[in-house]
Amino acid sequence: MKRRPRYRDARHPFLVWWRCSAQRVRKKRRPPPNGYAGVRLGPGDAVPVLSSAIEPREFYDRYVATRTPVIVRGGLLRETMATLANDAVLHQVAGECVLNVETREGSESFGRGKKQSMSFSSLLREVSAGSTRHYLTTQELPELASGGEQLVAPPLTELAGCFPLRPPLLPTLVPQSINLWLGRADGSGASSGLHHDYHDNLYCLLKGRKSFRLFSPADAAHLYTHGELLRVHPNGRINYEGHPTAADGRSPDDERREAVQRARREQSEAEQALARAEEAEDNGEPGADEALEAAEQRLEAAMDAVMELEMPAAETARKRRRGQAATDAAAANGADGGDDNSPPPSFSRVVLTAPAAELRARFPRLQHARETRCELRAGDLLYLPCGWFHDVTSYDEHRALNYWFHPPDGESYDDPYSAAEFWEAEFKAASKPQRTMAQSGKKQNAGKKHGRRR
């Protein structure tokens, strides 16, 4: 028979209950594991600035591998940025592209689910005329048979020849999506709210000015996210309860899909081996019968493995990806999470512009977080590793191109991912629908049809 625990205060049941409850609360509040192994920057640390050319390998070793934010100046992607900052080019090539544009009234924030369908030319004219009511954010993208989404968002689909799919500065990282952002803020500026992204970000400011307040992933537990932290990976990838991933962002279903890809390759190789064995048998080669039997068994095992693995994988991964894309877009747009106004898990409850006394009272752990700041002007690029919290204030008319990359978890510049074949296959599928600039140019004065906030 199981013995009852003995308590020193058995005559006082309330004290026993209180102590047991306190132990449970302390255990529940234990901070989640934070394995972040990258750089931390504090108030006395400036974000590095590169003003001269740098080789991609050196850039990777100095900044990507160490998870260090860095500003790049000096003309990188100069031609691309000049083209995308030129309204005349955008009107001519992509003006007829139909977009879903965020809208707001008065002083309310974006991200409340209010959207308006309008042509790109109409949006450009509104913003140029001084309107602060409209903002171009991420667009909903077509689903692919592989379970992912198209790589490039409209209106960039009409401008595909104007920018590289893989920037020369980061040639070994695999892009997850490429987006164009534009809008206008009033004199006091417009804040994105404090949040983090799930992907490495190369942010290219085409017009305007933006200021960033940054905190490293090491401070995740001090920044009061809406989601319940599960863990922080060494590369800064942050997971929340109910949404575990590998460090490079693969979910359990992605890993299953990766296994499917391996099984399909094995099936293809087994089919080729069977064809060779059949030819050998037809030619009467010695040992052909045994080789044919082995090839048939190999092919049967490979086909069974594919069938067992592939059925549930694509649909589940598709749902996860679409949910995460909505979360990233909501985080980029502001504190509201989208149509249901629920904040995304990656968003902080801290409003950094609140009075200091209020912040100390409501968010006591915030004092342990280390903040640094930087400012971008037109022509600057900011590399920001995944998991770095940022509150971005935009001023005047502003426009940006951004690349989100799957966060690297590999060992080197040449081998940045532990699942490189999987991500390269995803990239190949996602970039296949791209149209070229020449195709768009066949239509006079326009592209064709089509249809996050920083």
- Predicted local confidence at residue 299, as pLDDT: 87
Q: What percent of the chain is predicted at pLDDT more than 90?
A: 58
Task: State the average pLDDT over residues 177-183.
Answer: 96
CA distances from 162 to 158, 247, 322, 397, 436 (A): 9, 32, 27, 22, 9
- Predicted local confidence at residue 140, as pLDDT: 84
Q: CA-CA distance, 401 to 256, in Å (whole number)?
A: 33
Contacts of 67 (CB under 8 A, 6+ apart): 36, 37, 38, 39, 216, 217, 235, 236, 385, 388
Cβ–Cβ under 8 Å, residues 151 and 434: yes
User: How confident is residue 441, by pLDDT bands cut at 50, 70 and 90?
Assistant: very low
Burial of 55 per CB tally in 10 Å (0-12, 13-18, 19+): exposed
- Predicted local confidence at residue 412, as pLDDT: 97
Which two structure tokens, joined as six digits, stand for 391?
């509150």
Task: Summarize pLDDT for 349-403 with one digit per residue, the tens.
Answer: 999 999 999 999 999 999 999 999 999 999 999 999 999 999 999 999 999 999 9
Cis ω before 433 (30° cut-off from 0): no
Residue 101 has pLDDT above 60, yes or no: yes
Residue 437 has pLDDT above 90, yes or no: no
Residue with token string 């537990």: 221
Residue 340 has pLDDT above 60, yes or no: no
Name which of 237, 215, 210 is nearest 42 in CA terms.
Answer: 215
Count of residues for the chain?
454
Report the 10 Å Cβ neighbour count for 432: 11
Burial of 210 per CB tally in 10 Å (0-12, 13-18, 19+): buried
Per-chain mean pLDDT for the chain? 84
Higher pLDDT, 206 or 281: 206
- Predicted local confidence at residue 29, as pLDDT: 57
Higher pLDDT, 186 or 449: 186
- Predicted local confidence at residue 282, as pLDDT: 87
Beta pairing class for 70-72 and 49-50:
parallel
Residue 326 has pLDDT above 70, yes or no: no
Element (H, E) at 207: strand 200-215
Cβ–Cβ under 8 Å, residues 60 and 170: yes
Provide DSSP, 182-200: EEE--TT-EE--SB--SSE
Q: CA-CA distance, 112 to 102, in Å (whole number)?
A: 8
Element (H, E) at 135: strand 134-136
Beta bridge partners of 399: 182, 207
Higher pLDDT, 14 or 443: 14
Residue 293 has pLDDT above 60, yes or no: yes
Number of H helices, E strands in the chain: 10, 13
Higher pLDDT, 224 or 316: 224
Residue 24 has pLDDT above 90, yes or no: no
CA torsion sign for 144, 400, 59, 43 is negative
Cα of 271 vs its chain's centroid, Å: 38
Look at residue 127 and give its three-state secondary structure.
Answer: helix
Cβ–Cβ under 8 Å, residues 383 and 64: yes
User: How confident is residue 453, by pLDDT bands cut at 50, 70 and 90?
Assistant: very low
Residue 65 has pLDDT above 70, yes or no: yes
Report the 10 Å Cβ neighbour count for 6: 6
Task: State the average pLDDT over residues 254-262.
Answer: 80
Beta bridge partners of 381: 72, 204
